[in-house]
Amino acid sequence: MARPTYRIACLPGDGIGPEVTRGAVTVLEAAAAAYGFALEFSAHPVGGAAYDAAGTPFPDETREACDAADAILFGAVGGPQYDGLPWEHRPEAALLAIRKRYDLYANLRPILLYPPLRDASPLKNEIIGGGVDFIIVRELVGGIYFGEPRGITTLEDGTRRGVNTEVYTDAEIARIARMGFTIARGRRRKVTSVDKANVMEAGRLWRTVVDEVAREFPDVEVEHLLADNAAMQILRRPGDFDVMLASNLFGDFLSDEAAMLTGSIGLLPSASLGAAQNRLGLPKGFYEPIHGSAPDIAGRDLANPLAAILCGAMLLRHSLGQEEAALAVERAVARVLEEGFRTGDIKVPGTAVLGTAAMAAEVARRIG
């Protein structure tokens, strides 16, 4: 019987993106060999690298490869040399184009503190000692990043005015809320919804619709927090959260804050899922470490590849249906940390500090 073969479009991008993506591919290939399937990887330019080569951050070649793929593995985009470009040419424009093209409305960001990394977390042990294990479910294709009107205009008196608009429909809120409640049913059955209903009309609609959807899930507890309070409570009582549901803007901020609970932003993966399906009838997911391009350490074999590797685990689970292989990758990451291997961002005295490639190789050796 022939082994199933899956097509993965790799978009390494800029900065440390190519290095961490290579690490993820190393581990995914080990998982495929151990669990009896094959992966076909193809690499394509995106972001600043694509702009330099083709004059656009999301070239036709890359778009066509993503269309044909079962899943998309992404590195990072951006760099200071692109900051002066018009928005449509900036590296980040590729991200929004991909999200819109495949209607990737749900961004899943697990926040997990591995026990061996408690000393790397900036929080005191009495706050994190009970464990940190929650997931932020962020709406990804609506809100202030996409709302109209937007732009910078010059008024008659010469004053420049910048405008961005927070816009949500009830349907957009309801579908991300259902995703959050469904995920909560497979965890500890609690949803914390974040908004600014006290000062924003979009926030009031958000809270109203979340409560309406909650009635479809009577077995799941729901609480509401204002976004500024949520930012405080993440640091005060992180162990109390299970699923945190947030808009595009608030989910962006809160997930970066929550990442620091784990000791390093270099540990956090994300999966973006939506309406688009692959050949298997599963989500054509987009898998991206949340750490950014880190141009200051690019090309120096210093980046932490674990976020990208854990993106690979999410890819196996959500887009390929390879749950056992996904669990094997997650177990391998945990073992490497338990055995004292570290990259520079999470090192503590007495641990072995490895480069990007060597850390990925250690994870790959523990697949099985």
**Per the residue annotation, which of 133, 256, 301, 347 is the catalytic one?**
256
**Per the residue annotation, which of 51, 195, 196, 345 is the catalytic one?**
196
Peptide bond before residue 91 is cis, with ω within 30 degrees of 0 = no
Of 238, 255, 262, the C-alpha closest to 113 is: 262
Of 26, 46, 42, 92, the C-alpha closest to 312 is: 26
Q: Name residues whose C-beta falls within 8 Å of residue 289's C-beta, 6 or more positions apart in sequence.
A: 20, 75, 76, 266, 268, 269, 270, 307, 308, 310, 311
Which one-letter amino acid corresponds to residue 322? Q
Q: DSSP assignment of 206-252, as one string?
A: HHHHHHHHHTT-TTSEEEEEEHHHHHHHHHH-GGG-SEEEE-HHHHH
* Catalytic annotation present for 196: yes
* Catalytic annotation present for 100: no
Which one-letter amino acid corresponds to residue 9? A
Q: Identify the three-state secondary structure at position 157.
A: coil
**Per the residue annotation, which of 67, 119, 170, 228 is the catalytic one?**
228
Of 73, 80, 70, the C-alpha closest to 38 is: 70
| Burial readout 303-335 (b: 16 or more C-beta within 10 A, e: otherwise) | bbbbbbbbbbbbbbbbbbebeebbebbbebbbe
**Per the residue annotation, which of 114, 145, 168, 287 is the catalytic one?**
145
Of 79, 81, 6, the C-alpha closest to 295 is: 79
Alpha-carbon distance of 320 to 71, in angstroms, equals: 8
Residue 216, Ramachandran bin (φ over 0: left; ψ between -120 and 50: alpha; else beta): alpha
Q: DSSP assignment of 164-180, as one string?
A: ------HHHHHHHHHHH
**Per the residue annotation, which of 252, 284, 287, 345 is the catalytic one?**
252
* Catalytic annotation present for 252: yes
Of 122, 140, 157, 155, the C-alpha closest to 264 is: 122
* Catalytic annotation present for 228: yes
For the annotated catalytic residues, the residue numbers are 145, 196, 228, 252, 256
